[in-house]
Amino acid sequence: MEKIFRSKSERKEIRKYQIITVILMLIILAPVIVKIFKSDSKLDELIIPESIDIDFDKYTMHCDALCKRFTDSRRNPKEALAYCEKYFEIDLNKNGKIAEDVSELNNYDVCEDRVYCFNIEECSWGSGSRSRLTPEKCKDLMCDVYAEQYDDNTTAAQYIQSRITFGSCSSPGESEITETDTSISWWTETYKNVHCRSY
């Protein structure tokens, strides 16, 4: 009859080979396992944010830089123009087309080919409501600068109206959006028919 139990030194030797075999298997299989997990699209969605978020950070940073330039200039109205007039083309609904649709952004309905900094994120320098560059505040500052430049409120208003447009997608009144929708009040109440106040 063959001996079933091995000596202690034989068992240690077998265990050593078992450990070496397991380590070698892990070294060989690890790249394969990593590749399987990296190619799993569900895991990619969890790890990598959607492209709009990555791109959106770029737009937000650009607007933040323009806002900082304005606040660093002790809120010089001419510096506000860079922020107020800056717009981007962003495929917000991610359908591969820009300007065909109206999309919602921060409770604003915007045309994808005219997404202004004030639609993306309001520039603020304090806690009060007067410490923000809202669409309305931008219009007032633009009126001040362009009325001085053109020496005429009407010409200034027309110029502003040509600079801040809703975009090339269906404008309110031509699409399912009506001009009374509060989501587009930034445009209908402020920029559709610009009036610069007289001093």
Instruction: Kindly report, residue by residue over 115-159, the tens digit of the pLDDT.
Output: 999 999 889 988 877 788 989 999 999 999 999 999 999 999 999
**For residue 23, what are the CA distances in angstroms to 14, 27, 30, 57, 173?**
14, 6, 10, 43, 70
Query: Look-up: residue for tokens 């609904």?
Result: 93
Three-state secondary-structure class, residue 23: helix
Structure tokens at 90: 């962003």
pLDDT (tens digit per residue) in 48-101? 334 444 478 899 999 999 999 999 999 898 899 999 999 999 888 888 878 667
Taking all residues of the chain, what is their mean pLDDT, rounded to a whole number?
A: 79
Task: Name the residue with higher pLDDT: 5 or 44.
Answer: 5
pLDDT at position 41 over 70: no
Q: Alpha carbon of 87 to those of 6, 38, 59, 69, 165: distances in Å? A: 80, 36, 9, 16, 10
CB-CB neighbours of 121 under 10 Å: 16
pLDDT digits (tens, 9 = 90+) for 2-24: 555 678 788 888 888 888 888 88
Helix H or strand E segment including 102:
strand 102-105
Residue given tokens 């610069």 in the structure block: 196
CA–CA separation, 133 and 139 (whole Å): 9
pTM: 0.66
